[in-house]
Structure 1
């Protein structure tokens, strides 16, 4: 009688690392996605660098130079693209083509799949932000003081996590992959503008409304740590955490693995 040899099972950490590697390989095999994720924000900073190089501090840009302001806000845009837009579209597409249903049928734990996606998005965001900071440095934007880097790191990780949760939440509400880009941009486009990303907003009423939404707090927290040297922006970080919780709640309650109308 032959003995059955038990095959060793991989730990959760090993499975999560494998999923991160898979997401990274999938990402880099799509040159168009990589281009818009990395090159487009860098091009924007180059254009702003040419336009505002040598600019002085001004009250209009909240007491910092124009280029220092834009390095912070475009860094936020790059995180939104990697964590919110890309994740929502990818999940909607994978659900429609049946990939999520196949993943659900494997022994891969659900949490491992989403941890892999989250870690991948954070890695992409960090690389993108470092590229933007590097280009800004070429145009004379100084490196933040060492004491500000913990606040910068926490802000970026919390912002990336919150917008990943929002991306999954939006993906759970999108009915098909074709609608995903339109829905994502319909939500994001006005938020980016009213949050002072491309032009500082000096209307108290608009700032009060935008401050309760997720993009402006992210802008303000990163701008404070990076450009204004004010450290942790606890109120803005709390708003980001709250919106991340909203996204996670919607995702848990509404996310579907099956492309069919009754999928769960």
Structure 2
């Protein structure tokens, strides 16, 4: 029984307990440290977009060929938005869908759930770590594009504002979708086999590896259902010249539709994640 004399002491201890936000920040730090200890994952996440940009810029642009009508767009510049989009998807959706499935399988999530840490702090830590890795990844990719492939980066503040909101919406929606999808693989061992083929198919149909306007119309329609197409299109509006609208199937950058669809997937991911997320393996009750 708590006496009157001890009530202020108990109240002060409760007041001194860290809040969800501070725990989320601390969890972000722990997640980032853990991520950078996995050197193979670090190399893949950071190097993959740069390597793919180098391959496409070298193979398709080796004879000076450009995209679109004269004066044309250098291949490195045209494919940069797709590499930005796929980098965000790798760091958010693919990374979380696989890593959380593995943590569930090896009992890490079960042990974390047994601690006093609020579940919200755990998810804030995951999303925060994705944001940190995505920012680093984008910095490396854009630097490489400018210095190694001569891509002219935008100078207008309006374009960088577009980059910011597309990047944040894409990262947030990819992260919550990754959390939600992590419950699909039956085990941590099968997670990569389930997630990676989906990511590859989306890359091929969303204008990441090919000119989106040259894909079959039915493929463009299928891609429009998924967020990667809109993320790549939003990034094209940042890094391509205004006249590149001529080679967009819609004849517009569709910023309103991009924001609405990415926000819708953010909400869908949150709702599905709340309903389906599991802290234990299927055979663990």
Under a length normalisation based on structure 1, what TM-score does the superposition of the two structures give?
0.90
Match of 1:114 in 2: 123
Match of 1:10 in 2: 18
Structure 1 distance, partners of 2:280, 2:30, is 21
Structure 1 distance, partners of 2:69, 2:40, is 36
Match of 1:140 in 2: 150
Q: CA deviation at 1:13?
A: 2.4
User: Does the aligned pair in 2 maintain the 1:218–1:237 contact within 8 Å?
Assistant: no
Structure 2 distance, partners of 1:58, 1:34, is 32
Unmatched 5+ stretches in structure 2: 246-252
Change in 2 beyond 3 A, CA 1:192/1:257: same
Q: CA deviation at 1:242?
A: 1.7
Aligned CA RMSD, in angstroms, stands at 2.4
Change in 2 beyond 3 A, CA 1:31/1:218: same
Counterpart among 225, 246, 256 of residue 212 in structure 1: 225
Q: Following superposition, which runs of at least 4 residues in structure 1 exceed 6 angstroms of deviation?
A: 2-5
Match of 2:91 in 1: 82
Change in 2 beyond 3 A, CA 1:59/1:107: same
User: Does the aligned pair in 2 maintain the 1:158–1:240 contact within 8 Å?
Assistant: yes
Q: CA deviation at 1:71?
A: 1.0
Structure 2 distance, partners of 1:60, 1:204, is 21
Q: Structure 1 stretch 253-262 or stretch 156-165: which is displaced more?
A: 253-262
Unmatched 5+ stretches in structure 1: none
How many residue pairs match? The answer is: 262
Structure 1 distance, partners of 2:106, 2:58, is 43
Q: Structure 1 stretch 98-107 or stretch 201-210: which is displaced more?
A: 201-210
Structure 2 distance, partners of 1:169, 1:244, is 11
Counterpart among 263, 266, 270 of residue 248 in structure 1: 270
- Larger Cα-atom Rg: 2
Change in 2 beyond 3 A, CA 1:48/1:187: closer
Match of 2:248 in 1: none
1:234 aligned onto 2:242: no
1:178 aligned onto 2:204: no
Counterpart among 36, 40, 44 of residue 44 in structure 2: 36
Q: CA deviation at 1:74?
A: 0.7
Q: CA deviation at 1:11?
A: 2.5
Structure 2 distance, partners of 1:60, 1:242, is 35
Structure 2 distance, partners of 1:210, 1:196, is 9
1:159 aligned onto 2:159: no
Under a length normalisation based on structure 2, what TM-score does the superposition of the two structures give?
0.84
User: Does the aligned pair in 1 maintain the 2:67–2:78 contact within 8 Å?
Assistant: no
